[in-house]
Amino acid sequence: MSKQNHLQVEAIKNGTVIDHIPAHVGVKVLRLFNMHNSNERVTIGLNLPSSALGAKDLLKVENTFISQEQAQKLALYAPKATVNQIENYAVVKKLELTLPKQVVDVFRCANSNCITHNEPVSSSFSVIEKNDVIRLKCKYCEKSFSRDIMTEK
Ligand SMILES: [Zn+2]
């Protein structure tokens, strides 16, 4: 671990540090976890220098821990992000990011003719990863879309 990362981790007492988020994705992650409405102290670093990514985003949230289910959602946005759970200034747990097989009720189908826009059903996509590109296939209209064009509900 580099000295810089070490300092970033040390800066919070209890909570979660999500590091190595691709630049410009940090704000999406913030919204995904509703952290922008949190009353906890949230520290956001955007476009930080990163040797691996060129530029990266970083989020630190105090007194908030993300579940395995949230980690799966995060994997859709930032498959290579690192998630450290901090307790009393020490990393007590590193969450493994694994892609979910299915995402339900997170995204809106990009096909405007899809039945999900007119019926009271939860959107549902199967997750397909090929050559580092993540695509989502709608359960209802069976069209697949790149994650980048999907918008959150
Ligand atoms: Zn659809």
Instruction: Kindly list the domain boundaries of the chain, sorted by start residue.
Output: 3-95, 102-152
- Residue 130 confidence (pLDDT): 85
**Pair of tokens at residue 65:** 């821990």
Taking Cα atoms as reference points, which of 64, 86, 83 lies closest to residue 72?
A: 83
Residue 57 C-alpha to ligand 1 middle, in angstroms? 31
Q: Cα–Cα distance between 121 and 132 in angstroms, integer?
A: 30
Q: Contact 137/126 with Cβ under 8 angstroms?
A: yes
pLDDT at 13 over 80: yes
Residue 87 C-alpha to ligand 1 middle, in angstroms? 42
Q: Cα–Cα distance between 83 and 20 in angstroms, integer?
A: 9
Place 5 in a pLDDT band, splitting at 50, 70 and 90.
Answer: low
**Pair of tokens at residue 153:** 């509900």
Per-residue model confidence as pLDDT tens digits over 28-84: 899 888 888 999 999 999 999 998 889 999 999 999 999 888 898 899 889 889 999
Polymer length of the chain: 153
Specify the pairing of strand 42-50 against strand 82-87: unpaired
- Residue 4 confidence (pLDDT): 54
Q: Residues marked as binding for Zn(2+)?
A: 109, 114, 138, 141
pLDDT at 3 over 60: no
pLDDT at 8 over 50: no
- Residue 131 confidence (pLDDT): 83
Q: Residues marked as binding?
A: 109, 114, 138, 141
- Residue 68 confidence (pLDDT): 84
Q: What's CA 28's distance to the chain center, in Å?
A: 7
Residue 134 C-alpha to ligand 1 middle, in angstroms? 16
- Residue 6 confidence (pLDDT): 52
Per-residue model confidence as pLDDT tens digits over 81-139: 999 999 999 999 999 898 899 999 888 999 999 999 999 999 999 999 888 788 999 99
SS3 103: strand
Residue 63 C-alpha to ligand 1 middle, in angstroms? 37
Q: Cα–Cα distance between 86 and 65 in angstroms, integer?
A: 9
10-30 mean pLDDT: 90
Residue 126 C-alpha to ligand 1 middle, in angstroms? 11
Residue 138 C-alpha to ligand 1 middle, in angstroms? 5
Half-sphere exposure of 112 (CA within 13 A, CB side): 0
Q: Which numeric CATH code is attached to 3-95? A: 3.30.70.140
SS3 41: coil
Residue 152 C-alpha to ligand 1 middle, in angstroms? 14
pLDDT at 1 over 80: no
Matching CATH number, 102-152, of 3.90.1310.10, 3.10.150.10, 3.40.50.920, 2.30.30.20: 2.30.30.20
Residue 114 C-alpha to ligand 1 middle, in angstroms? 4
- Residue 117 confidence (pLDDT): 93
